[in-house]
Amino acid sequence: MCGAAGSGKSTYAHRLGEAGYTVLSFDIEAWRRGFRTHPVPVEGRREVHETLQRRLLEAVDDGRPVVVDTSFWSRASRDEYRELLASRGVVPVVHYMATPRHAILESLARRRTAGPDDIAVPVEQALSYMDGLQVPTAEEGPLRVIGEA
């Protein structure tokens, strides 16, 4: 999954989970570790990604379909996971949530930090996330665009 906070990544990932995918969620893992605000501190992000990567390889080795639910805001972060999966002969498909800005801001305005998929994100932070997102392109590899920008 790739997209800004509030773009619908978790909802989409949970639908894939209902279809049999193993869902690995950055926000759920961060919540388990006690992080209730964004951005998660650097060391916390590192630990969460290490856990997700370990579980991703376990799922792939077991032959299970898997979705990683995190923003993948930079091409470098997507490439890191691509390289990890290349060691197993797997080429991932990026599912990019092309959600309009107004819909993202409306979604985030309803959040109350009641759980890992409901972390409140201040407007300024949300705008920074949206503006900093490096939108994936087909040049990177397989890409599925969900919605329209």
Q: What is the mean pLDDT of residues 9-29?
A: 98
| Nearest-angstrom CA–CA distance, 65 and 59 | 7
pLDDT digit string, tens, across residues 42-94: 999 999 999 999 999 999 999 999 999 999 999 999 999 999 999 999 999 99
Helix axes 75-86, 42-61, angle to 10 degrees: 30
The answer on pLDDT for 16 being more than 90 is yes
pTM to 2 decimals? 0.94
Give residue 119's pLDDT band: very low, low, confident or very high (50, 70, 90): very high
- The predicted structure's pLDDT at residue 128: 96
How big is the CA angle at 94 (ends 91 and 95), to the nearest 5 degrees?
145
Q: Where are the domains of the chain?
A: 9-146
Does the domain made of 9-146 have the CATH classification 3.40.50.300? yes
